[in-house]
Amino acid sequence: MKDEQPNSADQHENPTPRQRRRIHWAFPLGIAAAGLGAVATVLLRGCWHRNMSWPIKHEHSEYSYQVCTDCGVKRLFDEKHFRPYGPYGQDVRELIAEVERRREERMERLRRDPGTDRT
């Protein structure tokens, strides 16, 4: 009877030192892989713009904007509906010019065909 190989249930109950070492490192490697994935996501994504300033009135125009207090990027702000709109950018004048351009395109489209307003 001593020549018999232990069955698989006995191996799981009493792992060899080599098996214990392998099990011991599996958990920390999994944690490290998850941590590296999270770091890579943050580095590739950049700032999430969660900390925005109060709206600031742009001088000499009717536009307001907000500034991300973490990275400094700006976004236009609608004071009437109290919500940000449009893309993020570094120069407020460029953001305003983009909004004006889109408004002109929409008005031109309405002049050509009044029934196709896709605001």
Question: For 17-64, how does the pLDDT look when each residue is reduced to its tens digit (9 = 90+)?
Answer: 666 666 566 666 677 777 777 666 666 767 888 899 999 999 888 999
pLDDT digits (tens, 9 = 90+) for 58-94: 988 899 999 999 889 999 999 999 999 999 999 999 9
CA distance 80 to 3: 86
* 88 phi and psi angles, rounded to 5 deg: -85, 150
pTM: 0.56
Tell me the three-class secondary structure of 15-55, residue by residue: CCHHHHHHHHHHHHHHHHHHHHHHHHHHHHHCCCCCCECCC
